């Protein structure tokens, strides 16, 4: 018998205490497993909650219209060019998109755009930067305080390689700084090649 035993000859069929104990043990084990699973979910939620809130607060700083100026140097054989830029920031949940243009006097007007998204599980930002002549570049990195520290991966070599770095600094006081560091000659030292400072309008 699997669910009941005859405990006394000719006696009535009664629930086995052994099976009852096994069921109780199994039920208790299942409850413990469920409780552990629920606890892990609660811990994860508590851990991610403040982090996501902090990132949302940071991304909200980019909202609105920005304008300013700076310098851009293409390579070691050229001089830094003065540029004026304007962008519109549009933050969303775990994401920031900023689009606009930069002008160098009457020489050129170039569209620029930065679109990055935050992954709460990894703590990493991923996205794209548009503005270089060679096409969109991939971005990835982390936030440290008031700055996003990003690695740039160009679609093809620039000054001998496809790597550079970008720092986007926003202290929440209406001032935005975007700086790129790269080597200006193949194998040369890494140095700042562009810096644009914008203020909220």
Mean pLDDT (whole number) for 139-147: 98
pLDDT at 33: 58
pLDDT at 53: 77
Residue of 11 and 136 predicted with greater confidence: 136
Q: Which residue has the higher pLDDT, 10 or 73?
A: 73
Residue 189, both tokens:
């030292």
Predicted confidence (pLDDT) per residue in 73-92, tens digit: 887 778 899 999 999 999 99
The vertex-74 CA angle with 69 and 80, nearest 5°, equals 50
The position carrying tokens 């000659």 is: 185
- The Cα–Cα gap between 200 and 6 comes to 85
Each residue's pLDDT tens digit, 92-117:
999 999 999 999 987 789 999 999 99
Q: Read off the pLDDT of each residue in 53-60 and give the average, rounded to a whole number.
A: 91
- Residues 150 and 172: their CA atoms lie apart, in Å, by 19
As given in the structure block, the two tokens for residue 14 are: 């009664």
- Answer yes or no: is pLDDT of 197 > 80: yes
Cα torsion 23, 27, 33, 35 to 10°: value is -170
- Whether the pLDDT of residue 188 is over 90: the answer is no
pLDDT of residue 108: 82
Percent of the chain with pLDDT strictly greater than 90: 61
Q: What is the mean pLDDT of residues 173-192?
A: 93
Q: Stretch 29-48: mean pLDDT, rounded?
A: 48
CA gap 175, 67 in Å, rounded: 10
- List the single range of 9-13, 29-33, 85-89, 123-127 with lowest mean pLDDT: 9-13
* Average pLDDT taken over every residue of the chain: 82
Cα-only R_g, the chain:
29
Q: Residue 148 and residue 39: Cα distance in Å, rounded? A: 33
């Amino acid at each position: 018998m699997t669910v009941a035993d005859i405990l006394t000859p000719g006696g009535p069929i009664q629930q086995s205490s052994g099976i009852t104990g096994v069921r109780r043990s199994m039920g208790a084990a299942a409850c413990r497993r469920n409780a552990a699973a629920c606890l892990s979910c609660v811990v994860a939620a508590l851990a991610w909650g403040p982090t996501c809130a902090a990132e949302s607060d940071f991304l909200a700083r980019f909202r609105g219209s920005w304008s300013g100026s700076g310098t851009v140097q293409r390579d070691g054989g050229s001089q830094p060019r003065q540029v004026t830029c304007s962008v519109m920031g549009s933050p969303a949940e775990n994401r920031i998109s900023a689009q606009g243009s930069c002008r160098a006097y009457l020489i050129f007007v170039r569209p620029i755009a930065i679109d990055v998204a935050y992954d709460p599980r990894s703590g990493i930002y991923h996205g794209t930067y548009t503005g270089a002549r060679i096409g969109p570049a991939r971005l990835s990195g982390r936030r440290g305080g008031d700055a996003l520290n990003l690695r740039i991966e160009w679609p093809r070599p620039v000054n001998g390689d496809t790597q550079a770095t970008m720092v986007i600094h926003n202290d929440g006081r209406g001032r935005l700084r975007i700086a790129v560091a790269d080597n200006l000659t193949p194998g040369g030292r890494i140095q700042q090649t562009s810096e644009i400072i914008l203020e909220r309008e």
